[in-house]
């Protein structure tokens, strides 16, 4: 036993070859089949709709042959080009306004001794909960040219005949779009502010820089990536948003891309033209996100990810209340004012009459819940589709994140790329892709719950994936190897170890999907059928019919359901889960 | 062949050979350590035995049954082995008892049987009173005991240990070494233990396989490994040593300052040509006058000294600028630096090595 191993190694080659094959049934792991299945699902959810979108943009509707006519029809009219440039103008203006709202609030809440920080944080959170189109309705009630409350107060006070403010203008559109999305800027930028170590600022102070110089040269450059990132996302969110333009840009005679798209989708239905018209939007989105990655990769901002050191708050002195005043103004514009008028309208017999006891009623709620033809069903549909989409997206994302993090398959990075790729697809374009791929025979899913759930799952897969991947990454592989060596398969490991450890993370991700899914409009607008109308679609119809009181009641009910779900989440998960950046 | 047999086992990662041509036969009930510096392939070897990595060459068999081959492998869960991980890998969502009973439940044992065996093994590792605790409420040493109980309770065909003590502090590590040894003596489970710490390997193992650069350097009992290292790597990795070069001339080996009859040196002396030999610092004795009884005596002086508490570390240099030797002496043997001394070398402890 003490001789060198090379001396004892006398195996003959034929002796080895007779037993070098492990029988296939011993090698079989049922999990392998699941992975193939998942790859197929991703193809169905992402590749096929996007591929169909591109193909159909080059397809002649009548003959089925190749053509460029769709592009000619889509861009041949001056009106269509104007819609495109209008959209870009609007997007740029929205970015500026969102940054003006989001960045100061983020700074005030993280780096100063401003009073009422929690109030501001809850206000921003309220802006996340409130669907953009409800904010839009609120602002129509506030600043409609004739009957808007602000204008009526103005007429009454001054006797003027011209309105003070008019929401049906370019700037009205910009304002309402901005209040519905600036929370994203807030979350990104305040996270970045929280990462900055006071010692970095101290180092500049010690070298002789005053507070203002330090802020300009050190602090803001360090949060710049977050500002740029959130500015890009704001732009993309603004140009793809459907609800607010649907409410405002038509009366404002300010055509934008999404409205033009929906026109292609109304009678006569021209899906191929819509596809051709959607391609530039897709290209803008993809290239901007590519640009963002390029910009952010250059500097080593990893330095600010370390927590170390204490953060000292900037003492604002008597400017504290000025700062709070500004924050209050933003919260009032974005949440308080629209919410209050919405609630008042919901409880009013006639919203134009103003506030009085005789005008109070519960009738609107009764009507919405029990008499209106579609609103009760729409509430149920929205909530159940939200639940279904959030659940399916989380489960699917968990499986993919697991494969990717554990490198179970060759090319698993392709799966990861696919799972986050819907991020660059605006909801309305996703809807066109789904329509083109699955609405018509032979699949014929138009007007079913299935197509809605599938589209929502695709839309929210990136959120689900990033949440799940972070969770899986935090679980040491040896936890699972311990299961396997003791005799459990991979699926046993997932069920008994991975899933229980991920419970909280997954529940947080689920809520982050449920809230926007229950309100989703852009994805739903072209996919709902007569029997699958969701709340957002019904709300839009009600606004066209001018039934503002009923609309307000239905919107209030939707908000109440979402707030209730989120409240349960708060209890279970702790208060901070949604304000963390995933 | 009974036991665990690795035949010409190899694993490539890209263009790097992590393990090359490894032949190892571990007998039933034997405790073998894979010892080597980081990157020597020991963990890769262990993970191939467990089934987490497939080999790219050779095969692994257990009691005559093929487990791993380049064409495919039995997955870990079908090998009937168990493993103790570097991070312990105690599942934080289960209590101590649930952790330990998990492997038994997977074997579809009845609830009574599971409870009985969990109770027994927790008794053995002295953790009975903590059975209902969650891992977050345990100390590092206690978690290690849970890992040990969880691995042993299923009576595995092979127990694999992946540097299980590297995350413990020094005192606890010493205690757990003996704990592992005790468990092995009690249950006689065939065990493979990966470590880079030679004293851990020496305490626990029947035999130690020293690995370097993906190859097996030497497989021997701890005593033989220390006293008869076969390669320069083994001699320097296990303990400290002095290397001296010489040349064989007929029946003697000539070194720079002395010569030794071949017969006195024991096995393994090359028939002719240059020879490298290893002499442990403990194989020599410093004294004020020449020794007797067959030892080689060199005259010289002490060049450096360091007192370590339990021993003295001296550097002795043979006279006229001759070879330097590291020598270990008991605390009572005090020599001043520069003092003329004699060095007595036991010729049987001059071990020829492969360079």
Q: How far apart are CA A553 and CA A556, in angstroms?
A: 5
In chain B, which residues have pLDDT < 70? 1, 294
Q: How far apart are CA B86 and CA B178, in angstroms?
A: 17
| Predicted complex ipTM exceeds 0.90 | no
Q: In this complex, which of A16, A488, A496 lies closest to B7 when CB atoms are compared?
A: A16
- Tell me, rounded to whole angstroms, the distance of Cα B177 from its chain centroid: 12
Query: What is residue A350's predicted lDDT score, i.e. its pLDDT?
Result: 73
Residue B317, domain CATH? 2.40.50.100
Of B235, B259, B278, which residue is a domain's last?
A: B235
CB A203 within 8 A of CB A221: no
Fold of A362-582: MetI-like fold (1.10.3720)
Of B235, B264, B297, which residue is a domain's last?
A: B235
- Bridge-based pairing state of the strands B273-279 and B284-287: unpaired
Domain definitions of chain A by residue range: 82-336, 362-582
B109 touches chain A (CB under 8 A): no
- Cβ atoms < 10 Å from Cβ of B73: 23
B208 touches chain A (CB under 8 A): no
B327 token code pair: 């020598």
Q: In this complex, which of B80, B85, B216 lies closest to A482 when CB atoms are compared?
A: B85
Residue with tokens 């993906």: B214
- Which of A276, A272, A275, A240 has the alpha carbon at shortest distance from A259? A240
B108 touches chain A (CB under 8 A): no
B105 token code pair: 């439940």
A488 touches chain B (CB under 8 A): yes
CB A70 within 8 A of CB A150: no
Q: pLDDT per position in chain A (582 positions), as tens?
A: 333 333 333 334 444 444 456 666 665 566 567 667 877 888 888 888 888 888 887 877 677 777 777 787 777 777 788 888 888 888 899 999 999 998 889 888 888 888 888 888 888 888 888 888 888 888 888 888 777 788 778 878 887 777 777 888 888 888 888 988 888 888 888 888 877 777 777 777 777 776 777 777 777 777 887 888 888 888 888 888 888 888 888 887 888 888 888 878 776 777 778 788 888 778 888 888 777 777 666 554 444 444 445 567 777 778 888 889 999 999 988 888 889 888 888 887 777 766 666 777 777 777 777 777 787 888 888 889 889 999 999 988 888 888 888 777 666 777 788 888 787 778 888 888 888 788 777 777 777 888 888 888 988 888 888 888 888 888 888 888 889 888 888 788 888 888 888 888 888 888 888 888 888 888 888 878 777 888 888 888 888 887 788 888 888 888 888 888 888 887 777 655 544 433
Peptide bond into A268 cis (omega under 30): yes
Summarize pLDDT for B192-206 with one digit per residue, the tens: 999 988 888 888 899
In angstroms and rounded to an integer, the radius of gyration of the C-alpha atoms of chain B is 25
CA B215, B218, B221: angle at the middle one, nearest 5?
Answer: 140
Q: Chain B: residue nearest A487 by CA? A: B77
Residue B262 domain boundaries: 243-353
Closest Cα of chain B to A405: distance in Å? 16
Inter-chain touch A5–B160, beta carbons under 8 Å = no
Give kind and range of the element (H or E) at residue B190. Answer: strand B190-195
Inter-chain touch A22–B72, beta carbons under 8 Å = yes
A19 touches chain B (CB under 8 A): yes
CB A193 within 8 A of CB A107: yes
Closest Cα of chain B to A499: distance in Å? 10
Query: What is residue B208's predicted lDDT score, i.e. its pLDDT?
Result: 94
B224 touches chain A (CB under 8 A): yes
Inter-chain touch A481–B80, beta carbons under 8 Å = no
Q: Give the helix, strand, coil percentages of chain A, each rounded to 5.
A: 75, 0, 25
B192 lies in the same domain as B329: no
* Fold match flag (A82-336 vs A362-582): yes
CATH class of A82-336: mainly alpha
A-B Cβ pairs (cutoff 8 Å, strict): 122
Give kind and range of the element (H or E) at residue A286. Answer: helix A271-298
Of B235, B254, B269, which residue is a domain's last?
A: B235
Closest Cα of chain A to B129: distance in Å? 24
Query: What is residue A310's predicted lDDT score, i.e. its pLDDT?
Result: 58
A11 touches chain B (CB under 8 A): yes
Q: Chain B: residue nearest A6 by CA? A: B23
Residue B54, domain CATH? 3.40.50.300
Inter-chain touch B81–A478, beta carbons under 8 Å = no
Q: In a 3-state reduction of DSSP, which class is residue B212?
A: strand
Query: What is residue B4's predicted lDDT score, i.e. its pLDDT?
Result: 92
Inter-chain touch B69–A488, beta carbons under 8 Å = no
A496 touches chain B (CB under 8 A): yes
Inter-chain touch B59–A16, beta carbons under 8 Å = yes
B128 lies in the same domain as B51: yes
Query: What is residue B1's predicted lDDT score, i.e. its pLDDT?
Result: 67
B265 lies in the same domain as B218: no
CB B283 within 8 A of CB B263: no
Half-sphere exposure for A499 (CA within 13 Å, toward CB)? 11
Query: In angstroms, how far is the first alpha carbon of chain A from the final one?
Result: 58
Count of structural domains within chain B: 2
A35 token code pair: 């992975």
Residues of B in contact with A471 (CB under 8 A): none
Inter-chain touch B93–A492, beta carbons under 8 Å = no
Q: Chain A: residue nearest B51 by CA? A: A485
B249 lies in the same domain as B231: no
Query: What is residue B271's predicted lDDT score, i.e. its pLDDT?
Result: 73
B202 lies in the same domain as B318: no
Residues of A in contact with B76 (CB under 8 A): 481, 484-485
B66 touches chain A (CB under 8 A): yes
Residues 6+ positions from B170 with CB-CB distance below 8 Å: none
What are the angstrom distances between the C-alpha of B207 and each of A542, B26, B44, B193?
83, 9, 19, 10
B194 lies in the same domain as B322: no
Residues 24-83 (A) with a CB less than 8 A from some CB of B: 24, 26-27, 29
pTM of the model: 0.73
B55 lies in the same domain as B198: yes
């Amino acid at each position: 036993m003490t001789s060198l191993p090379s001396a004892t190694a006398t195996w003959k080659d034929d002796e080895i070859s007779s037993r070098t094959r492990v029988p296939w049934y011993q090698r079989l792991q049922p999990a392998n089949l699941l992975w193939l299945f998942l790859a197929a699902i991703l193809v169905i959810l992402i590749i096929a709709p996007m591929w169909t979108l591109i193909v159909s943009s080059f397809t002649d509707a009548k003959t089925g042959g190749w053509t460029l006519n769709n592009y000619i029809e889509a861009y041949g009219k001056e009106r269509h080009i104007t819609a495109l440039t209008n959209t870009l103008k609007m997007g740029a203006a929205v970015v500026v306004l969102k940054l003006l709202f989001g960045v100061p609030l983020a700074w005030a809440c993280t780096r100063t001794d401003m009073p009422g920080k929690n109030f501001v944080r809850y206000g921003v959170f309220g802006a996340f909960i409130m669907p953009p189109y409800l904010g839009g309705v609120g602002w129509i009630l506030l600043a409609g040219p004739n009957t808007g409350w602000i204008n009526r107060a103005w007429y009454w006070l001054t006797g003027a005949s011209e309105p003070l403010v008019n929401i049906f203008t370019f700037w009205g559109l910009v304002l309402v779009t901005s209040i519905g999305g600036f929370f994203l800027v807030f979350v990104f930028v305040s996270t970045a502010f929280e990462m900055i170590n006071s010692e970095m600022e101290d180092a500049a102070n010690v070298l002789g820089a005053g507070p203002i110089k330090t802020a300009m040269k050190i602090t803001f450059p360090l949060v710049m990536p977050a500002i740029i990132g959130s500015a890009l996302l704001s732009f993309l969110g603004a140009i793809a948003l459907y609800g607010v333009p649907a409410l405002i840009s038509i009366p404002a005679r300010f055509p934008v891309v999404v409205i033009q798209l929906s026109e292609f989708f109304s009678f006569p239905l021209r899906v191929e033209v819509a596809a051709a018209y959607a391609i530039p939007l897709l290209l803008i989105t993809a290239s901007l996100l590519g640009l963002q990655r390029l910009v952010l990769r250059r500097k080593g901002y990893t330095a600010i990810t370390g927590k170390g050191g204490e953060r000292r708050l900037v003492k604002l002195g008597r400017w504290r209340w000025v700062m709070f005043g500004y924050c209050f103004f933003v919260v009032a514009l974005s949440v308080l004012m629209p919410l209050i008028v919405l609630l008042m309208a919901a409880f009013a017999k006639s919203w134009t009459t103003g506030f009085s006891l005789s005008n109070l009623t519960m009738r609107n709620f009764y009507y919405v819940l029990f008499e209106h033809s579609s609103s009760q069903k729409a509430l149920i549909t929205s909530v159940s589709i939200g639940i279904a989409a959030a659940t399916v997206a989380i489960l699917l994302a968990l499986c993919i994140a697991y494969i990717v993090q554990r490198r179970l398959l060759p090319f698993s990075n392709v799966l990861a790329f696919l799972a986050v790729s819907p991020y660059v697809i605006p909801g309305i374009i996703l809807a066109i892709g789904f329509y083109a791929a699955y609405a018509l025979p032979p699949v014929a899913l138009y007007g079913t719950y299935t197509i809605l759930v599938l589209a929502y799952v695709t839309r929210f897969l990136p959120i689900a994936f990033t949440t799940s991947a972070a969770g899986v990454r935090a679980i040491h592989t040896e936890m699972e190897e311990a299961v396997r060596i003791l005799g459990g398969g991979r699926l046993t490991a997932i069920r008994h170890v991975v899933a229980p450890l991920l419970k909280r993370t997954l529940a947080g991700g689920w809520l982050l999907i449920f809230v926007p899914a229950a309100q989703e409009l852009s994805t739903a607008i072209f996919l709902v059928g007569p029997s699958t109308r969701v709340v957002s679609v019904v709300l839009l119809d009600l606004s066209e019919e001018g039934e503002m009181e009923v609309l307000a009641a239905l919107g209030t009910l939707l908000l109440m359901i979402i707030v209730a779900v989120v409240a349960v989440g708060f209890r279970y998960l702790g208060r901070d889960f949604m304000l963390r950046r995933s | 062949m009974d036991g665990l047999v690795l035949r010409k086992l190899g694993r490539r990662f890209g263009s790097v050979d992590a393990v090359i041509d490894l032949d190892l036969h571990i007998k039933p009930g034997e405790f073998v350590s894979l010892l080597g510096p980081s990157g020597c392939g020991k963990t890769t070897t262990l993970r191939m035995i467990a089934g987490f990595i497939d080999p790219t060459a050779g095969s692994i068999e257990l009691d005559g049954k093929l487990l791993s081959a380049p064409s495919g492998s039995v997955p870990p869960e079908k090998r009937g082995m168990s493993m103790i991980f570097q991070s312990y890998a105690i599942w934080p969502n289960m209590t101590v008892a649930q952790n330990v009973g998990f492997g038994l439940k997977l074997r579809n044992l009845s609830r009574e049987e599971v409870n009985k065996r969990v109770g027994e093994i927790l008794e053995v590792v002295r953790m009975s009173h903590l059975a209902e605790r969650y891992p977050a409420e345990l100390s590092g040493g206690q978690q290690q005991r849970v890992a040990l109980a969880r691995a042993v309770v299923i009576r595995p065909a092979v127990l694999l240990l992946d540097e299980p003590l590297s995350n413990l502090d020094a005192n606890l590590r010493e205690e757990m070494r003996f704990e592992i040894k005790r468990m092995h003596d009690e249950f006689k489970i065939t065990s493979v233990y990966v470590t880079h710490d030679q004293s851990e390997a020496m305490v626990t193992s029947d035999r130690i396989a020293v690995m370097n650069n993906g190859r097996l350097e030497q497989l021997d009992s701890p005593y033989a490994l220390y006293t008869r290292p076969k390669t320069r790597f083994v001699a320097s990795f296990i303990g400290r040593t002095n290397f001296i070069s010489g040349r064989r001339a007929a029946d003697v080996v000539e070194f720079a300052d002395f010569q030794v009859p071949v017969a006195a040196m024991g096995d393994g002396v090359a028939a002719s040509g240059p020879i490298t030999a290893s002499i442990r610092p403990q194989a020599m004795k410093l004294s004020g006058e020449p020794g007797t009884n067959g030892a080689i005596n060199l005259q010289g002086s002490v060049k450096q000294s360091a007192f370590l508490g339990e021993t003295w570390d001296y550097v002795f240099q043979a006279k006229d600028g001759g070879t330097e030797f590291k020598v270990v002496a008991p605390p009572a043997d005090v020599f001043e630096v520069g003092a003329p001394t004699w060095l007595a070398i036991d010729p049987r402890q001059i071990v020829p090595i492969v360079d």
